[in-house]
A and B are shown apart, each in its own frame.
Chain A
């Protein structure tokens, strides 16, 4: 026993030592072994023999131009136009490797001997149907998997490469639903909202919903090599490190994640190091962000002035005023006629030119493999000075000792992001085109003169460029260090035990600085007196850190009994914990604007207090999975998970989740085998229940909080913060899925269809209490949301001419989803009713039976041609010209019903062309451009520029039949007139790649291949709604050029 312990201790030490020696030690080791391999290729005795054969695909067609390599060296032969290869190999045992674009690499072992050999090869398609499904906990054969899952390969990632990994995923898979964020546009620092198969969580209260803080409740769980990671980390992840991404959609797939699985799971698998001679892969690229301002159509200085004058803004009843105003108009007019006009749209934007660099080194022997990679990416946003820089470095080690495999993966990530100091784009759009930001001397003016000329008390409007030119700072950053370690032990060939442990540390900080010259201080009344003057200049600093660990033990057994009964049993035990804390504080009185340093501040913010958060969560899960397949025809799948979490009530700490599914491989039936058309036909169905840990908060326990900011005599106290609800339980989602997969015409056409339903019950919401309980509500499980829909994907090869190495692949996806609230808490209902009764205007309303994202507006009957006023239909069915919030009716759902994409990949020899269209339709949008930029009130014209339609399409005179009302004082309120069908078609991705691997490259440049790539994203947008896109930050067209070198 003690001897064993010593041995194990040594082993551990060695593993640790090895890890610290990387990359140099292992690099040398790899070099050494691969050199010896190379010698082996030439054979010590110099004797050789011939190997030949034909390479075909699964449909039996010969594959042309497949490189064949010996061992792990360079390709030494290529298949000819009949798919045949011939090459000489040494007489000792060796391996042949066949690689081909779009196909899985094949490897065969040749025994030692002197006889010539014939080996025919069948290569399998890389992307679908035959793969293994990686669920992050268990790996399962797709042939017997009942879950709905879509797989994205690294090739697809390269073809669709976008601004960041999330943008890339958006163009590839339509089942990932990205919420359109018209406000944030193409801001590289914006984290998008994603959901899979519709929203399944409700915000806690109507107020919370309206404040749009509920961004994260529907975000899917993201798993990287078995460990949870954040959406932001995925966004910044180095896509070159990814082998594949599996998106688990239904309960059968996500039940193994129990409480965290209800929003779907994105499982990312990193590339494993390949054994062999040192391979170096390098990439250099340019990333261009070109602003797309085509949705903006604004009046120029002359037109704007014309509109203002036509509406009588420069006239008055009182003659002396009238005279003054007209004079002011004439001054403006003469200035405009002499050419004074400003293109404000262009002021804060630029064509951002960023870059990215990637290096990956890998090698080693079969026993010991390693990879090291580094990636730097600098995205320069379309607004000036906005950028996001990320660095990722990783070291991966794999050591195989007989039947034990050790893996260690260390990554370090660093992100620095900065928001544009130009602020919101919308304030530039609003500027008057006749205002000139610079004076005669080329100096920035601080203020523009008031609309009707200088007058007492009106100092005019601030020039946004003035603040923008100051040294303001708005940046943040974070660093993550993660280490994941795993041991996999094949106890017997059928039984594998795996242990994993991951540890991660995150630190972050943020800086916000407003220099003393900023308009906040020059105009703010509290900064004008002596004391206020010294308070000018503000610095807000925030910092925090997080620490988490995650470990699991996993046992998997699979065995085939009597050739027909295939059994798989898996068990997993998982624990995880997370600690985090953050602080922030503000200081003021920094007079030296060129030196924005916190230490230069005069004092803390007046009456300000430091703020901070501290959190701690823990979770335990037990998972089991059984899969039984009979004769490769019928299979049944069972998953069960028990989850415990610190965020739930004392009485409900543990919750069970489950799923079950059945499947039938029709194509393996005897009667079907003879079928000449269909080669694959699989039917599957599953049901299950999963949960969501999101938004649970601390509602379960009656919590006391220490009061730190007050005292009673010399004592400090603790107070109750809220009543706990010990019965609070997990929000659970019951879902079902019916799927069909098929392949036909020798694999020329493949497809998958899934129909699903999803019911989320126990939704968390507030429950009212009488005031005599002291607190007005507590958190309870109330309400239910349902989603129903289907997903269809088809892949076909119109041309698959392997002889000429020419293929054309078309892939299309169509997704339909219907979402509605099926049950609501009485509290929410009562609140909604109260709002309606009291005509309180709320941005979003909830009703049972209606979609979660719905548009409510007052029914409009159009513009009365005689008065130019809008007519409405009130709740009693009367025509009225008064708008009341209580008259709002349902006008359509805000989410599109159908979404999809359609992509074409053309390959000819080394060339690959891809173009992808994305589309969605069936939803509605409230066109706020019309409200804010066209149907503005007459007073608003005095302070902002407007859309062209404000000049051309508005009611002016009695008898005008127009879509837009006449000019008046009142703002247009929510009206059905502005609710429009939102149908969109986008050319979301266009890419061209050329892979250059001629003899010249191999011999003269000493490289295996050079790949040139050009990726363009968001090129063209056709929409049924004419509205401004990207109001706070413009949309941009993203163009990436890159060169990838493989040594």
Chain B
């Protein structure tokens, strides 16, 4: 294998097309097409198992651009049905600043109103992480019913059934990009 070592690459017109930072040197994606429904997470964060993806950085200084886009709905007492980004099983810093009894999270799971066939709104996040590691890094979405009052959630579908002509089954993804830094 040949290796070319340089600090910068320019076109013949002197246009800079690669520097030592900002380059994308690896992309991995997890596609999730299976529908979930009926799961009540309780008050502690639990992993949304399909929404996981791993990458192995090549340098401790490199960053990971984490991009989630997923669909779903909720039912029951959905008010504190909240999700958070986790790295290697620990909560990331990408969360709101809460006080009092309020929950803090990256986002809230979508509530489709009173209709069982309500739309499945896109949720997600975009976060530039600095894992400072060359070991495999795993990102997950965790979810909880923060006040534990009986909420449940669906993924890739509404909260009705999946077999009627009124239902939509969607597809979700997790994309990780290693960025040189």
Report if A and B associate in a common complex.
no
Q: Please list the residues of chain A having a beta carbon within 8 angstroms of any beta carbon in chain B.
A: none
